[in-house]
Amino acid sequence: MMRITFHKMFVDGSGRGLKKGKLHTVRINYKFWKKHEGKELALSYWEGKPRRRGSTMKTFAVKRLVFVQKADYKRGKGFFTGGKGEKKKKIDEYKMAVNDGFEKLEDFKKWFMNSGYKGGDVGILHFTDMKY
């Protein structure tokens, strides 16, 4: 089973699921994640400092990856969906931020830009049937 790691702030208070309202996660490497569409993922977080001696990874839930939506981020313009031959559609960034578990758009943008994103396609990994 494929493991996907989240920051502990996205784990619900019971420690057994995703925070209420977190419908998806945005990840770099769309092609990698698309191969896992429809499969179950072990949702995990680090106890302690990530990848350090004495730290452990804790699996808190198993969820099915319902759909991986391809999106592209244009700096200063936002996120857009639509592949080759499809009309590009701008995603409401605030709605995307809230659905990703953030309260403020600024926090989502800061988090995303600090994730190692270098440009190109991203995958919006949906845990529900919701799509943009």
Q: How many domains does the chain have?
A: 1
For the whole model, what pTM was predicted? 0.89
Mean pLDDT per 10-residue run, the chain (132 residues)? 94 93 93 96 89 88 96 85 81 95 93 77 94 93
Q: Is residue 131 domain-resident?
A: no
Q: Which domain holds residue 99?
A: 2-126
Q: Are 21 and 101 in contact (CB under 8 A)?
A: yes
Q: How many CB atoms lie within 10 A of CB 55?
A: 12
Q: Are 11 and 18 in contact (CB under 8 A)?
A: yes
Cα(64)–Cα(84) distance, rounded to whole angstroms? 27
Q: Is residue 44 domain-resident?
A: yes
Q: Is residue 35 domain-resident?
A: yes
Q: Is residue 78 domain-resident?
A: yes
